[in-house]
Structure 1
Amino acid sequence: MDDETRPAAPNYTSAFLWMALVNLLWILDLIWAVFGLPAVMAAGWLLDRVIQRFCRRA
């Protein structure tokens, strides 16, 4: 296919980030409802560690 006739792909970055936030919030709310606040704090700490590890590799 000729690249000149192909339209540009839409930028879904903003929509993805908003939906990732929404999903993170409902998952943390579910953990809080089932296991309590210490479990949410532990999950947040663990998620922070995972993100830091990915940032160091990049």
Structure 2
Amino acid sequence: MFGLFKKKSELEKLQESYKTILGKAHLESQRDRTASDKLMAEAEEIAKKIDALKAKG
């Protein structure tokens, strides 16, 4: 209950976004490989941002 009003950090937002995009990429991989590859590239960019934030602080 106390975490109800807690704002998410930038790292938490990026991790959530990364997880969502990976899920979408997995679903798309069964239908459209090109779309899946684009989503994987987007997820990779987010992963780089996550690594940069972890290295910084």
Question: For the superposition of Structure 1 and Structure 2, which TM-score range results when normalised by the shorter chain?
Answer: 0.3 to 0.5
Structure in which a larger fraction of residues adopt helix: 2
Query: Could you state the TM-score of these two structures normalised by the residue count of structure 1?
Result: 0.46
Choose 1 or 2 for highest CA Rg. 1
Query: Could you state the TM-score of these two structures normalised by the residue count of structure 2?
Result: 0.47
